[in-house]
Amino acid sequence: EVQLVQSGAEVKKPGESLKISCKGSGYSFTNNWIAWVRQMPGKGLEWMGIIFPGDSNIRYSPSFQGQVTISTDKSISTAYLQWSSLRASDSALYYCVRHGGNYSFDYWGQGTLVTVSS
Amino acid sequence: EIVLTQSPGTLSLSPGERATLSCRASHSFSSKYLAWYQQKPGQAPRLLIYGASSRATGIPDRFSGSGSGTDFTLTISRLEPEDFAAYYCQYYDSSRVTFGPGTKVDIK
C-alpha cells in the first residue's frame, strides 16, 4: 500500500528555522515526483514545488522560489520542506503529494500543520 | 502562466440532485493536463479525475469529467451525502502546477 507519512505539527516563533518531512512507502520512492502543497486556514491549495527523488531535479513555484527549500534523502525514502527563517504568514497546513503519472497527484500525505507565532 | 477559474464559488444543492462544476483556463491546453480533486473538511484532498475525463481508482461512476481547450466540467450525477465537499481543478504540465480556487458544494 502506497503511503506518505508526514512529520507532526510544529509550533515555532518568527525567525526560527524548520524542516518538515514526508516518508514514502509501498512503492519505489525514486521513480515518482513528490510535490509540496500549502493550504492556509480556510483557503485553497497552492503548489510550492516539486522534486524528483531519483536525481533531485527540483522545480519551484515562482511564488515560493527563495522562500523554502525542497530536498530528498532517497536512502530513507523521505522528502523535506524547509524554511531558514519563518514568518507568521507561513502558518498553514502543508501536504506532500505523489505524482502518479497522468499529470496528477494520486497520493497525499496527512498534512503537517505549521504554526508560527510569537 | 495558466490561471484556472472555478465557478460557482459555492453550489447549494440537495442530495440526489446533479452538480455541475466549471473550471476555465486562461489559455488552452491539452486535456491530459487537467485533474480534479475532492477535499472534505479535516481531510487531505483526494484525486477524482485525471486527464480531464478518466476516473481515478475507486472513484464512483457518478463522478465524471469532460471538456477540452479552456473549458472543463466535473459532473456529479446524483449527489450522495458524502459528496458535499470542496472541489479543485488542477493543471500540471511537467514544469508547473496550478490549482483553481475551488468550488464548495454544500447542502441546500
Q: What is the pLDDT of residues A40-87, one digit of tens each?
A: 999 999 999 999 999 999 999 999 999 999 999 999 999 999 999 999
Residue length, chain B?
A: 108
Q: Best residue in B32, B43, B97 to probe A by mutation, most A CBs within 10 Å? A: B97
Q: How far apart are CA B46 and CA B91, in angstroms?
A: 15
B31 touches chain A (CB under 8 A): no
B51 touches chain A (CB under 8 A): yes
Report pLDDT for B93.
84
B95 touches chain A (CB under 8 A): yes
Q: Do B33 and A103 touch (CB under 8 A)?
A: yes
B101 touches chain A (CB under 8 A): yes
Which residue reads 505539527 in cell numbers? Answer: A9
Q: Return the number of other C-beta atoms located less than 10 Å from residue B6's C-beta.
A: 22
Write phi, then psi, for B83 (nearest 5 degrees). -90, -10
B98 touches chain A (CB under 8 A): yes
Nearest to A19 by CA among A106, A59, A78, A63: A78
User: With bands split at pLDDT 50, 70 and 90, how would you rate the model's confidence at B79?
Assistant: very high
Write phi, then psi, for B33 (nearest 5 degrees). -95, 5
Q: Provide the CB-side half-sphere exposure for A15 (13 A, CA).
A: 1
Residues 54-93 of A with CB under 8 A from B: 59, 61
Cα dihedral A38, A97, B69, B32 in deg (nearest 10)? 170
User: With bands split at pLDDT 50, 70 and 90, how would you rate the model's confidence at A10?
Assistant: very high
Q: Do A45 and B32 touch (CB under 8 A)?
A: no
Q: Do B44 and A110 touch (CB under 8 A)?
A: yes
Whether the link from the prior residue into A53 is cis, omega within 30° of 0, is no
